């Protein structure tokens, strides 16, 4: 028997898989196109399918587990660790460093190999998608150490947004915190978070980034979390910050467990 959908309203199959915490919605769509997902014994080949509440879902022939209550963790990512489930070059990954009692989780956004600081982790692929989406509008803040001369004109250019190698980067609010010799510490705040955005705009301005630490992602703060430490966000705080959709999913998950 496969998992029964907790919500009564039909939903897109990729969204259901993501909400069960198996993967992101985009990855779920790839699974479906590869023929790995079946509904009521019929293998799907397109994600453009809305699935009713009574449907039974299997992935790779195995029943898909029912969605659990949404959870979120703060993790202090050290440098030298990649944000991926596996690395072809054999480098250590974030997920290898997590405590053994952690459930399967997904990273919200990425921090590259040499970047540090706050990384959010969740067991809910749909929440991951929501928190990463530009429409959320959450500010991500970073402490950045650069080598090079920081001028008022350069900071003003960042505030207006820059185009680097045909890629348009949105406004970045940057303040100069301190300078010692040719090295400066900046605080940067941005809303988009394109791949390697800070490093690329800094290089465009003639600065070399020697350290990059994310200190916050929306309302969630790195705070005093030690390097390599992970701490769950209390359910009440998660509820307050992410709204009624999370409450609805948690209730639906409990109802599904009670019916079994």
| CATH code of 113's domain | 3.30.70.580
Q: For position 258, what pLDDT does the model report?
A: 40
Q: For position 246, what pLDDT does the model report?
A: 44
- Name the catalytic one among 7, 87, 112, 239: 112
Asked if the structure places residue 123 within a domain, the reply is yes
State which of 42, 67, 92 marks the end of a domain.
67
Asked if the structure places residue 253 within a domain, the reply is no
- What CATH number did the domain enclosing 50 receive? 3.10.290.10
Catalogue the long-range contacts made by 86-95 (C-beta closer than 8 Å, 24 or more residues apart).
Answer: 94/119
Asked if the structure places residue 254 within a domain, the reply is no
Q: 10 Å Cβ neighbour count for 41?
A: 8
> Are both 223 and 131 inside the same structural domain?
yes
Alpha-carbon span 21 to 123, nearest angstrom: 5
Report the chain (260 residues): mean pLDDT per 10 consecutive residues.
54 83 83 92 90 85 82 96 86 91 89 96 88 86 97 96 93 96 96 89 96 96 96 93 56 43
Asked if the structure places residue 208 within a domain, the reply is yes
Alpha-carbon span 37 to 130, nearest angstrom: 23
Q: For position 259, what pLDDT does the model report?
A: 43
> Are both 120 and 174 inside the same structural domain?
no
State which of 67, 84, 103 marks the end of a domain.
67
Alpha-carbon span 54 to 249, nearest angstrom: 17
> Are both 99 and 47 inside the same structural domain?
no
- What CATH number did the domain enclosing 168 receive? 3.30.70.1560
> Are both 97 and 82 inside the same structural domain?
yes
Asked if the structure places residue 249 within a domain, the reply is no
> Are both 165 and 191 inside the same structural domain?
yes
> Are both 143 and 204 inside the same structural domain?
yes
> Are both 57 and 82 inside the same structural domain?
no
> Are both 236 and 212 inside the same structural domain?
no
Q: For position 133, what pLDDT does the model report?
A: 83
State which of 47, 67, 87 marks the end of a domain.
67
The alpha carbon of 38 is separated from its chain's Cα centroid by a whole number of angstroms, namely: 27
Range of the domain at 129: 72-135+219-242
Active site residue 112: yes
Residue 32 CB partners (closer than 8 Å, separation 6+): 13, 14, 44, 45, 46, 47, 49
Could you tell me if 85 and 95 are in contact, meaning their C-beta atoms sit under 8 angstroms apart? yes
Asked if the structure places residue 250 within a domain, the reply is no
> Are both 62 and 80 inside the same structural domain?
no
> Are both 236 and 113 inside the same structural domain?
yes
> Are both 89 and 106 inside the same structural domain?
yes
Asked if the structure places residue 198 within a domain, the reply is yes
Query: How many domains does the chain contain in total?
Result: 3
> Are both 150 and 116 inside the same structural domain?
no
Asked if the structure places residue 55 within a domain, the reply is yes
């Amino acid at each position: 028997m496969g998992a029964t959908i907790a919500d009564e309203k039909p939903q897109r199959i990729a969204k259901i898989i993501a909400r069960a915490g198996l993967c992101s919605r985009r990855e779920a769509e790839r699974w479906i196109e590869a023929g790995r997902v079946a509904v009521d014994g019929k293998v799907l080949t397109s994600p453009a399918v809305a699935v009713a509440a009574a449907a039974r879902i299997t992935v790779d022939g195995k029943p898909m587990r029912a969605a659990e209550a949404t959870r979120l963790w703060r993790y202090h990512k050290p440098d030298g660790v990649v944000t991926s489930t596996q690395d072809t070059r054999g480098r250590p990954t974030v997920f290898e460093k997590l405590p053994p009692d952690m459930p399967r989780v997904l990273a919200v956004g990425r921090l590259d190999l040499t970047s540090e600081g706050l990384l959010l982790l969740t067991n809910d692929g749909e929440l991951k998608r929501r928190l990463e989406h530009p429409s959320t509008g959450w500010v991500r803040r970073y402490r950045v150490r650069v080598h090079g001369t920081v001028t008022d004109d350069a900071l003003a250019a960042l505030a207006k947004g820059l185009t680097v190698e045909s890629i348009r980067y949105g406004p970045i609010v940057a303040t100069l915190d301190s300078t010692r010799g040719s090295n400066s510490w900046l605080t940067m705040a941005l809303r988009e978070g394109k791949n390697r955005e800070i490093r690329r705009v800094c290089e465009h301005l003639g600065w070399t980034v020697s350290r990059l630490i994310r200190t916050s992602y929306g309302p969630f703060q790195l705070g005093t979390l030690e390097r390599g430490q992970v701490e769950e966000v209390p359910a009440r705080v998660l509820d307050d910050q992410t709204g009624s959709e999370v409450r609805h999913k948690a209730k639906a998950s409990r109802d599904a467990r009670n019916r079994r």
